[in-house]
Structure 1
Amino acid sequence: MIADPAAPPIDDAHVKDRVSPRHIRLDFNVELIEDVRMEGPAALMERDWMSPYVWLDADGRYGFMVRAVPKPGAPRSDTGMVWTGWSGDGRNFTMLDAPSIVPGPDAFDAGGVEDPTVVQREDGSYLVYYTGVLADQAHGELCYASGPSLDRLHKRGVVLASTKSEGNTKEATIERTADSQWRLFYEYAADNASRIGLALGADCAGPWIEQPTPFMPREQSWDDWHLSTGPMLTDDPDIPVMFYNGATRDARWRIGWIAFDRDCRTVLDRCIQPLITPPPVDDRTATDIAFAASVIVREHAIWLYYSLEDRRLARARIRRS
C-alpha cells in the first residue's frame, strides 16, 4: 500500500511552525541515564546497535527490536538487520537466536533493513514498520512486515513510497488518533536535509494520505538544518509530545521535544535547548549523535530509549514539569 495517488505531493518549503496562541507551561528534564544491555548470539553481539524500539507487550513484558549494523571496518554486507528481544525490567534484554527481519530477496530492501517500529494489533499479531534500503545502500523507502509473532513476520512491501518532493521515507512513528484513525510521522529528504512528514490513514497499514508538514527547522538553533521523527508521548492525549531528533548542517544530532494540540496540527510549545546531548569526545571528527527511537510510561515513569554514536544504546528517565 502506498500514499493516496490522487493526492499531489505537498511542497512545504515555505511552511513555518503553526504556533498556537494558547500558553502552556511545559518542560522536561533528565533524571537518570542507564545503558541498555543485551544478551544474544554472536552474530548480533559482534555488531553495533541503533534504533532501540521498546514497547509494553500485551503479556506485560517489555518487547524490544533493534537495528544491528556492521562495525566500522567490517565488510559492509548490509546497512542493518532487525533483531527481537524480551525483558522483565526494560533494561536487560534476552534476544532471539536469529534476526526477525533480514535484507532481501526482493529489491526494495536488498541493501539492508533499518529503524523498526512495532504495532501490536488487538488480536495479538504484529505489524512492524521498517526502512527498506535498496542494493545501492544509499536509498530507501518505508516498508512493513506483519505476522502472528515477531519470529514469523512476512514482508508486505513498501507502505509509503518516496516521491519527487519526499525522498527516502523512513523512521516511522505511528499512533492511533482520538477518532480511531491512525497518524504516521516519518522522515523524508528534501533540499539536502532531513524533514518530518505526516500522513493519516484508516488502518495502521494505510493507505496513507499526506498532510502538511507539522514543523520545520529553526534558524540559528541546534536543530536548524535536519529534523527526524522521534517517539510520541501520549499519556496526556490533549498535549501529545514528540521527542524528536534535530541537527545542524554537519549532522551533529541531539534530542529535543515539541508539544502539539490534540490533532498534532498546531505547535503548543517547543524546547529551546536539547533534552539529551551526547557525552563530549576529544576527537571532533568522531560520530556525534544522540537519536531517540521509543518512549514508554510505566508506573508513572517516562523512559526514553535512544542510541549514541550509532553504536550503543541507552535509556533516560524523564521528568515532566
Structure 2
Amino acid sequence: MSAANLTSLHPSTFILVGIPGLEAYHVWISIPFCSIYILSLLGNFLLLGLIRTEPSLHEPMYLFLSMLAAADLVVSTTTLPKILSIFWFQNRGIHLHACLAQVFLIHSFSTMESGFFAAMAFDRYVAICNPLRHSAILTSTVTAKIGLVVMIRGAVLLCPHPILLLQLPYCRGNIIAHTYCEFMALVKLTCADTWVPQAYSLTVAFLTGGLDFAFIILSYILILRTVFQLPSKEARVKSLSTCGSHVCVILISYTPAFFSFLTHRFGHRVAPCAHIIVANIYVLIPPMMNPIIYGVKTKKIQESVLRILRFSSPEDKEVEK
C-alpha cells in the first residue's frame, strides 16, 4: 500500500463538526456550555476541598463522593475546553493521538463514575439495612480498596478502545459529526469489519454500566424493603431522605448515558443534532448537578459549609478580638 493511501486511511488529524445543523448557533450555545463548565469546576473543587478539610465528612459515603467529583472534573475538562474552542474559534482540528486520548479518558472515567455510584449504593445499603455493622464493614481500608478497584477496572477495560481504533482504516474521511471524539463516532468512519471492536464495546458496557445499574437497582429494592418495615413514619422518612440525593444524581447521570449509548448503536432514525445534544448533556449536566444536589440534600455538607462561613464571617472575627 502506498504512503498516500496509508495517510488517507490513517489521518493524522480529525475534524470535529460540532453540533450538526446548528453551526450558526454555536456562539449562542457556547454561553450555557461555558457557564455550566464554570459551575462544574467551582462546585466539584469546593466539594473536594470541603471533604478533605472537614473530619466529619471522612466517611465512606463522602469519600466515594469525592472520587466521583474527581472523575466528573476529568470528564468535563477532557471535553469542554475543546468544545468551546470549536464554538468560539472554529478550531475543529484534533490530532489523532489527542482524539484517541479523549476517547480513553471520557469512556474510562465515565465507567469509573458508574462504579462510584454502585459503591455509594452499597454504602447506603449497609448504612440502612445493617447500620450496627456499617463502620466494621466499610472501614477506611475497604473504602480505599473499593475506590482503587473501580479505577483499575475503568482504566484496564477501556484501554483497548484506542488500540482498536488505531488499527481501523478510516476510508470514509476524517470528519467527525460530533463535538468530541467518541468511540462509536470514530467507528462509523471506517469501512472495515467492525464486529470485534463493537462487540468488545458492548461487552464492556454490559460488564460495567449494565452490572453497576443492576446492582444499584437491587440495592435500593433491599433498602426500600427494609425502610418500609421500620416501625415509625419519622424513621422511614429519615432513612429515605439519606438516599434522595443519590437517587437524583443516578437519574441525571444514567438517563442521558443510556440514551446516547443506545442511539449510537440502534437509533438510526434519531436526528444527529438530537443525539449530539444529549451526548453533550451527559458530559455537561451531571458534573454540574452532582455537587449542587448533594449540597442541597445532604445535611452534613450543609452544616460543614455553614460552619466554614460562620468561622470566616467578619462578625465572628470581631467577637474573637
Give TM-score scaled by structure 1 length.
Answer: 0.27
- Specify the structure having the higher radius of gyration (Cα): 2
Between structures 1 and 2, the one with greater strand share: 1
More helix by share: 2
